Amino acid sequence: MKKLFSVIISLFAAALMTAVSAVNVSAYSAGINDKAGLYSSSEIKKLEERQAEVSELTGWNIAVVTTNTGFGADGIAACDYAERYYDEMFGADSSSVVYLIDLDYRWIAMDGDVLNYFNSSRFDTMMDECEYCYRDYRDVENLETFYYYLEYYYRQGTVEYDPNIGAKGDDFESSIEYYGSGSKFFRTDVFVAFLVTGAVIAAISIAIVVSRYKLHYAPTANCYLNSNTINYYRKNDYFVREFTSRTRINDSSGGGSHHSGGSRRSGGRSHGGGGRGGRR
């Protein structure tokens, strides 16, 4: 009995350690890739320290990249650049945020757990405040505002899923609409909670079943028999004749196959987020 309980406890501990390790994945603060030369070295150092603080608090990967490319006013090229940067830096399935600051367009790409904390209202507020700073040449304050709202909304807690800031895929044309419908994403915290809860319930159930079998003797069939009311009968079966039914099955050949598929055009959005266009 003791050996069985020790096995159960070991299995539960292993499941709990797996769950904890799945959550406690260290976030990566990728710093500021200042291709446009908007910041001094001292400003970058201070802003990257702040970025690391927010990344450690939230568990999200964060990166900022500035360019003088001139991606155009429709947002398509800026979106593609930000999402490629996102995928190459952190991986497509990560919980990350990338802020692209270009002279034509500013775009924030986000996905994974980050979208649990942003609906359209929250995203618009953050994007608009950052844009005000950018247009007013307050570049340091632009990133400080960006970091502030990431932390602020994280501390405010999750919101109901909002498809308006999800990926748009093939529906993203040359419009400057910033948001569109997307698919829901995998919630790691919910999965881990179910995993731990299931492990606890399973351990308790096994312990109860084992204790019952250990403390009680299994009854035999004789316990349910009343010797005063038992009647015995003998029954015999006799074979009379055989009857076989046959039906002809026509042999015919034929068939076909069905194939479905699709492709993703260049210009489709694979992550959530949005942007603002125009030069200052």
Model confidence pLDDT, tens digit, residues 50-65: 999 999 999 999 999 9
Say whether 98 sits in a helix, a strand or coil.
Answer: strand
CB 271 within 8 A of CB 100: no
Beta-sheet strands, E only, within the chain: 29-34, 61-67, 96-102, 105-110, 272-277
Which of 193, 127, 126 lies closest to 153, judged by CA?
Answer: 126
How many whole angstroms separate alpha carbon 163 and alpha carbon 180?
7
Residues paired with 108 in a beta bridge: 99, 274
Say whether 274 sits in a helix, a strand or coil.
Answer: strand
Say whether 269 sits in a helix, a strand or coil.
Answer: strand
Instruction: Please classify residue 43 by burial: count the beta carbons closer than 10 Å to its beta carbon, then call 0-12 exposed, 13-18 middle and 19+ buried.
Output: middle
In words, the CATH class of domain 26-187+267-277 is alpha beta
How many whole angstroms separate alpha carbon 83 and alpha carbon 90?
10
Greatest CA separation found in the chain?
104
Give the predicted TM-score (pTM) of the model: 0.59
Per-residue pLDDT of the chain (280 residues; tens, 9 = 90+): 555 555 555 555 555 444 444 443 467 899 999 999 999 999 999 999 999 999 999 999 999 999 999 998 888 999 999 999 999 999 999 999 999 999 999 999 999 999 999 999 999 999 999 999 999 999 999 999 999 999 999 999 999 888 777 766 544 443 333 333 333 334 455 556 667 777 888 888 787 777 666 655 566 666 666 656 656 666 666 555 555 444 444 444 444 333 222 222 244 568 999 999 999 9
pLDDT at 256: 35
pLDDT for 139-181, tens place per residue? 999 999 999 999 999 999 999 888 777 766 544 443 333 333 3
Q: Which tokens in the block code for residue 43? A: 């400003």
Which of 1, 29, 38 lies closest to 89, judged by CA?
Answer: 29
Sequence spans of domains, the chain: 26-187+267-277
Which of 89, 71, 68, 95 lies closest to 275, judged by CA?
Answer: 71
